[in-house]
């Protein structure tokens, strides 16, 4: 098998250009002053479907053969991947089935259905979503679209970094959230291909530190189901393909607490008027909490998504006096 | 006195280019589907200082003589004008004094002070802020910066529309919030100067309908202090200079209810991940509530600001089940 490279990302960009928003890059002199760096925020929370997941899904779906297109696609996800696949499928006129848990947030189920996908519910306690998705795939011939562990998905997510560098030029460092590793592996591969050196950090919730532990040990480590507010980081282990790329392209994995994440969400909403979900706010959380070993540098940060459930938003803010200052 | 024209706006643009953000234009296929139009949202909520007010303040302050700069500036405002003047003054190395009521939101006072301005407090019940500002001006020689009724302020605000047209090309209609009329008069003048016809609507809270009534009668009408959630529209009468421009450039004033505004704020935050203050959301409110006589048109909407106090945000959302769907 050939190695994953920036050429995969460049090819994906050609295929998905008309399907995804070229999202804006936000800056804030207040953030620069607070962190002592010059910070560029790539706003994938403003992406169609509310996250970067549309990129990978579009990258994969544009490679389906006519026969595969006719049979449709299937995916399992309670979160942004569901919306990404559903939206990409609608754009391309492909039938999509999404396997979602019965206790998924109403808003996410409705958004996914709103994009025209068929929803298949399962009981998180008693049923295995992968088995259900595989059975649907075998019975209908629908193509299973994995959330991250696939070169075509990783390539799509990497287009985020391509756009960021095109917009702002050279950067000293890039901070990328890491769940399964699709976004991080794609973006790190783009960064490594540049002429000037870029230090790439993955940022992870300390309550969901599977990639941190794996990176330290050099082998994929599995953790018990994590209870972090960052719902996009609740995978138990890094992807196999993504982790191979992360190992050779990423400088370090930084950890942030759930309180660091809440503080970053508050800063982004009150000072920058941007709604960012917990997983999407980890890069700013690392900067504000002093977890990034950088000073006077040009730093790119990927805000990976903005799909926040209201109970989470209320918890992050709690509308206390503290949050008013 | 010569008439206000687009040449004032073009000159202002040259002066303020390096001081203001060129804010992004956001689009949403969901919003297009819901409204039956193609909608372009000019995101002044992402402007430095959180609103368009920085444009007018920068436009005025860049015209001060060296002697005036040395004496400083003074303004009265409990809201976005305070932050706009304070920030523009800091950028230009000018001393600013802002007269704010003792009961102004803590967050706005702190933000204004954070930009380096001196705050002079007054009792809203017993003191006259204009008299205080005028006394400061007379005693110190500081130049009074009015919130809207000044060609140089109106010209700065109009640069918002210049950027919007440059970004998206021809539009059939433009929706602009109207408080004192600085933003509306500036933007309408830019729209009227284009080769292709643009219909300009001012949008106002129905609880603060001074411009609506004035527009209908042809004369400036004063209302009693309004209790709308749209705190940027609590002026009692349109400006003298702004109203003359509004009369000859605007097609109509549309009214929206406070509930329409809350619904628009919810849509903008949950679907588009943008925090927009009540005054800034009136254009989207008019579209979603079916108040705009348009179908199949290209419509520009100015989201004028994003400075929301937490009690207002909580009130708009109330974190009910209704808002989760």
Using DSSP's 3-state secondary structure scheme, residue A259 falls into helix
In what helix (H) or strand (E) does residue B27 lie, and over which residues does it extend?
none
pLDDT at position A321 over 60? no
Question: What average pLDDT does this structure show over A123-134?
Answer: 89
Question: Looking at A42, A51, A53, A59, which residue is catalytic?
Answer: A53
Predicted confidence (pLDDT) at residue A96 exceeds the cutoff of 60: yes
Q: What is the largest CA-CA distance in chain A?
A: 58
* Closest by CA position to A42, among listed A17, A24, A19: A24
Catalytic residue of the set A59, A78, A185, A304: A304
Q: What is the pLDDT of residue A324?
A: 38
Query: Would you state the pLDDT for residue A317?
Result: 73
Q: Is a pLDDT exceeding 80 seen at residue A192?
A: yes
Contact A165, A194 (CB under 8 A): yes
Least confident residue range of A36-50, B42-56, B120-134, B201-215: B120-134
User: Contact at 8 Å (CB) between A320 and A291?
Assistant: no
Whether B163 has a pLDDT exceeding 60, the answer reads yes
The whole-angstrom distance between B106's CA and the closest CA on chain A is 6
Are B6-51+150-324 and B54-144 equal in CATH topology? yes
What sign has the CA pseudo-torsion B311, B305, B114, A315?
Answer: positive
A310 and B319: CB-CB below 8 Å? Answer: yes
pLDDT at A318: 67
Flag whether pLDDT at B212 surpasses 90: yes
ipTM (interface pTM) = 0.84
CA A201 to chain centre: 14
Active-site annotation holds for A304? yes
CATH topology of domain B6-51+150-324: Rossmann fold (3.40.50)
Query: Between B310-317 and B258-272, two packed helices, what is the crossing angle to 10 degrees?
Result: 90
Q: Tell me the mean pLDDT in the region A131-155.
A: 95
Decide the pairing of beta strands A252-256 and A298-303. Answer: unpaired
The model's confidence at residue A312, banded by pLDDT at 50, 70 and 90, is confident
Residue B1 has pLDDT above 70, yes or no: no
Cβ neighbours of B317 in A, within 8 Å? 310
C-beta of residue A266 within 8 angstroms of C-beta of residue A34: no
Give the C-alpha distances (Å, rounded to integers) separating B136 from B112, B147, B177, B210.
18, 17, 31, 30
- Separation of first and last alpha carbons in chain A: 54
Whether residues A319 and B314 touch (CB distance < 8 A) is answered with: yes
In SS3 terms, B38-72 reads as: EEEEEEHHHCHHHECHHHHHHHHHCCCCHHHHHHC
- Residues in A whose CB is inside 8 Å of some CB of B read 21, 24, 26-27, 29, 45-46, 48, 50, 105-107, 110, 269-270, 272-276, 306, 309-311, 313-314, 317, 319, 323-325
The domains of chain A are located at: 6-51+150-324, 54-144
Quickly state the pLDDT bin for B108 (edges 50, 70, 90).
confident
Give the minimum alpha-carbon distance from A323 to chain B in angstroms, rounded to a whole number.
8
Please report where in the chains the tokens 């004008």 appear, as a residue.
B81
- Classify the C-alpha dihedral A222-A224-A228-A233 as positive or negative: positive
What's the gap between Cα A29 and its chain centre? 26
Q: How many CB atoms lie within 10 A of CB A156?
A: 34
User: Which residues of B are less than 8 Å from A314 in CB distance?
Assistant: 319
Q: What kind and span of H or E run contains B98? A: strand B96-101
Per-residue pLDDT reduced to its tens digit, A29-80: 999 999 999 999 999 999 999 999 999 999 999 999 999 999 999 999 988 9
pLDDT tens-digit series, residues B21-54 = 999 999 999 999 999 999 999 999 999 999 999 9
> Two tokens at B104?
């102004």
- Report CB contact under 8 Å: A323, B309: no
* Nearest residue in A to B108, CA atom: A325
Q: Is B274 close to A272, i.e. CB distance below 8 A? A: no
Higher pLDDT among residues A101 and B209, named by residue: B209
Q: Residue A83: what pLDDT? A: 95
Indicate the average pLDDT of chain A: 94
pLDDT digits (tens, 9 = 90+) for B263-318: 999 999 989 999 999 999 999 999 999 999 999 999 999 999 999 887 788 777 76
Q: Is the CATH number of domain B54-144 3.40.50.2020? A: no
- Encode pLDDT of A262-309 as tens digits: 999 999 998 999 999 999 999 999 999 999 999 999 999 999 999 988
- Enclosing H/E stretch for B76: strand B73-76
In this prediction, residue A1 has a pLDDT band, given cuts at 50, 70 and 90, of: low
For the question of residue B53 being annotated catalytic, the response is yes
Q: Of B51, B53, B77, B185, which is the active-site residue?
A: B53
Q: What's residue A320's pLDDT?
A: 42
Question: Is the sign of the CA dihedral B165, B168, B169, B173 positive or negative?
Answer: negative
Nearest alpha-carbon partner for B98 in B159, B142, B139? B142
pLDDT digits (tens, 9 = 90+) for A217-246: 999 999 999 999 999 999 999 999 999 999
A contacts of B311 (beta carbons < 8 Å): 319
Query: A197-213, pLDDT tens digit by residue?
Result: 999 999 999 999 999 99
How many A/B residue pairs have CB atoms within 8 Å?
63
Query: In the predicted model, what is the mean pLDDT of residues A144-152?
Result: 97
């Amino acid at each position: 098998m050939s190695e994953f490279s920036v050429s995969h990302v460049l090819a994906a960009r050609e295929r998905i250009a008309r399907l995804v928003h070229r999202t804006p890059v936000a800056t804030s002199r207040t953030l620069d002053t607070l962190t002592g760096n010059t910070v560029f925020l790539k706003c994938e929370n403003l992406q169609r479907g509310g996250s970067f997941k549309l990129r990978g899904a579009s990258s994969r779906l544009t490679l389906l053969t006519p026969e595969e297109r006719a049979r449709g696609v299937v995916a399992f996800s309670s979160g942004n991947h569901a919306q990404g696949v559903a939206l990409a499928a609608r754009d391309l006129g492909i039938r999509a089935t999404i396997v979602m848990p019965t206790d998924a947030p109403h808003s996410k189920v409705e958004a996914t259905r709103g994009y025209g996908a068929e929803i298949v519910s399962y009981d998180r306690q008693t049923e295995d979503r992968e088995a259900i998705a595989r059975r649907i795939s075998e019975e209908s011939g629908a193509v299973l679209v994995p959330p991250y562990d696939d070169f075509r998905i990783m390539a799509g997510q990497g287009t985020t970094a391509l756009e960021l560098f095109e917009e702002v030029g050279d950067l000293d460092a890039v901070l990328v959230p890491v769940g399964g590793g699709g976004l991080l592996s794609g973006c790190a591969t783009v960064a490594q291909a540049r002429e000037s050196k870029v230090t790439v950090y993955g940022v992870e919730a300390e309550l969901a530190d599977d990639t941190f532990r794996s990176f330290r040990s050099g082998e994929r480590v599995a953790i018990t189901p994590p209870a972090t507010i960052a719902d996009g980081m609740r995978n138990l282990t890094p992807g196999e393909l993504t982790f191979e790329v992360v190992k050779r392209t990423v400088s370090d994995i930084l950890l942030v607490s759930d309180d660091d994440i809440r503080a970053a969400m508050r800063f982004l909403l009150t000072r920058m008027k941007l709604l960012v979900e917990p997983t999407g706010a980890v890069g700013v959380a690392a900067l504000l909490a002093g977890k990034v070993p950088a000073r006077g540098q040009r730093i790119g940060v990927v805000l990976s998504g903005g799909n926040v459930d209201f109970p989470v938003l209320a918890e992050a803010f709690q509308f206390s006096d503290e949050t008013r200052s």
